[in-house]
Amino acid sequence: MVTRRDLLTFTSFSMALAALGFTPAVFAARRLKLAAQVPFTFEGLIQQARESARHPYVAPEQVPDSAVANINYDVYSKVMYKPEYALFNEGVSRFPVTFFSVSSLHKLPLKMSVVENKSAREIIQNADYFTFPDNYQNALSAVKGNVFSGFRVLEHQQSFESHGVKDWVSFLGASYFRAVGEQGQFGLSARGIAINTVFGDTKEEFPDFTHFWFETPEKGSDHLVVYALLDGPSVCGAYRFDMQRTKGVVMDVECSLFLRRDVGRLGIAPQTSMFWFSELAKGSASDWRPEVHDSDGLALWTGGDEHIWRPLNNPLQIRLSAFSDNNPRGFGLRQKQRDFASYLGSAGYERRPDLWVEPKGDWGKGAVQLVEIPTDDEIFDNIAAMWVPEKEAKAGSEYQFSYRLHWLADEPFPSKLARCGITRMGRGGNPGAYKDPDARKFMVEFQGDVLEHLPADTHLDAVVTASRGTLKDIRVEKSPGGKGHWRTFFDLHAEGKEPVELRLYLKSGDKTLSETWMYQYLPFTSSPKPMQGV
């Protein structure tokens, strides 16, 4: 156990080293065991990935099940990285880096290196870098070689004084990573790549980040640059992450991808989230809480300058929606409901971050694809969103993508038009006249400066379309709630069980007043079957 006295001694030691002129990398070497220097540049890493993709994939060796069988979820949550071995602990960066150990949940050991002056030194890993709970002091004794399975970036040097969650970025498992938003809460995850997500009978592939390089930051910098090598049966890639702690987190991502074999669905800048239910469509026996989700909708800003809001579903069967575009301006899964009263639980769903992808450069033609998978529990991620290029992904193809990830509480570039608010659905018709069992009434709310001060008797038009069925009783009114919101009502009659694609926006004369609301209505009555998500 590390005491406050140990921390004070460690701080004094680092100050003494600085006074003697030792560089941050030398300081790290004094605490962590580092291998000899080798040349390193991002261009060199890209070439390494390109060369690797020309050869058959060799799966990295995982630690044997028997070696980590005792490190289950409960034990793993109590394994602590020793602060004296943190990377960039003192005097260099605001943000120390610590590491996760391998476990029964994460059995792939990863390589980690420190970069300075175009040279890299690999960290020689050791189980002694960790403390373990009582009765598990030798939990990693059977593991030979590397023992790191991921890393996290801490908020500040004082994070070591508490075992509470103080990190703002975490990379752990396959190519998954996540960051906190403006309210300091983790939620949905991003991935380096998505390969064949729900693509016919083809099994989804989960490539791994196998080696990370941490660039020694300049003194006082609020950025941390990390490089990564991605490897999998179908792809090899090189990544550069420039991560900045702002009011949320901003990441500039550059990646070069090289395909070993054909890929049916190549997902760029993918993100993964959870949607169980909301007040829009909730089974009466689902749960006592009003809503349970990490994200409640997909937001799009198209290359044609249209802003779209698409609420999420928990369907009875896997659903794939594609939003074709050319050079999209942005997309992301959002958590619009920010009131505690919408959730009432202790999981902090009202604080979960949005994740917005801002493409850079020419992304060309393709589609933002949304995957919705059935679930009956909040423990599964069942939602995925990604950009899929139009051109087929063939073996030997090379791709370069650049984009910025915004982990915030709202879109970084919101529409100046009225924006979609809550959506509600119920049986169609009016009180005393519910005669059509196939009819559903929708209420969609809009809000924004363009509507806020309009008199209640202003005539607005709702432009509503449906892929099938009949629309009736379309009307627009100013909400009586006194917040300047407006809402649209309409009834949809659609026989059968096939989905209905709905589209709605407000206008006054020839002037568009709102962003576009889109929804996939699923006229099913039974509860979804559980299925593990993506």
pLDDT at 443 over 70: yes
Describe the chain by its helix, strand, coil percentages, rounded to 5: 10, 40, 45
- 470 forms beta bridges with 493
Q: What are the angstrom distances between the C-alpha of 94 and each of 129, 224, 245?
A: 21, 9, 10
- 330 lies in some domain: no
Contacts 24+ apart (CB under 8 A), 7-10: 7/83, 7/160, 7/161, 10/83, 10/84, 10/89, 10/90
Residue 19 lies in a domain: yes
Q: Are residues 393 and 447 in the same domain?
A: no
- Asked whether residue 393 falls in the same domain as residue 492, the answer is no
Task: With respect to residue 219, please indicate whether it lies within any of the assigned structural domains.
Answer: yes
Tally helices (H) and strands (E) across the chain.
6, 34
Q: Is residue 442 part of a domain?
A: yes
Cβ atoms of residues 305 and 413 within 8 Å = no
- In this structure, the answer to whether residues 423 and 400 fall within a common structural domain is no
Q: What is the pLDDT of residue 4?
A: 25
pTM of the model: 0.91
d(CA 4, CA 17): 20
Residue 276 has pLDDT above 80, yes or no: yes
Cα(208)–Cα(59) distance, integer angstroms: 10
* Same domain (yes/no): 394, 481: no
At 34-82, the pLDDT tens digits run 999 999 999 999 999 999 999 999 999 999 999 999 899 889 988 999 9
| 396 and 469 share one domain | no
CATH code for the domain of 252: 2.70.98.10
pLDDT in tens, 3-40: 322 323 233 333 333 333 334 444 443 478 999 999 99
My answer on whether 425 and 397 are in the same domain is: no
CA atoms of 516 and 498, how far apart (whole Å):
23
pLDDT mean over 335-361: 96
Residue 230 domain-assigned?
yes
397 and 427 housed in the same domain: no
Q: Is residue 341 domain-resident?
A: no
Residues 399 and 471 in one domain: no
Q: Does residue 88 share a domain with residue 191?
A: yes
Could you tell me the pLDDT band of residue 221, with boundaries at 50, 70 and 90? Answer: confident
Query: Of 367, 224, 364, which is closest to residue 300 (Cα–Cα)?
Result: 367
pLDDT at res. 339: 94
Domain extent for 159: 4-274+389-408
Residue 530 gets which letter from DSSP? P
Q: Is the pLDDT of residue 374 over 60?
A: yes
Residue 127 falls within a domain, yes or no? Answer: yes
> 437 pLDDT band (50/70/90 cuts)?
confident
Closest CA to 362 of 383, 334, 390: 390
Q: What is the mean pLDDT of the chain?
A: 89
Number of domains in the chain: 2
Q: Residue with structure tokens 């004084």?
A: 161
Question: Rounded to whole angstroms, how far apart are CA atoms 435 and 79?
Answer: 61
Cα 91 from Cα 465, distance rounded (Å)? 60
Are 441 and 394 members of one domain?
A: no
**pLDDT for res 90:** 67
Find tokens 């498992």 and name the residue: 173
- My answer on whether 399 and 426 are in the same domain is no
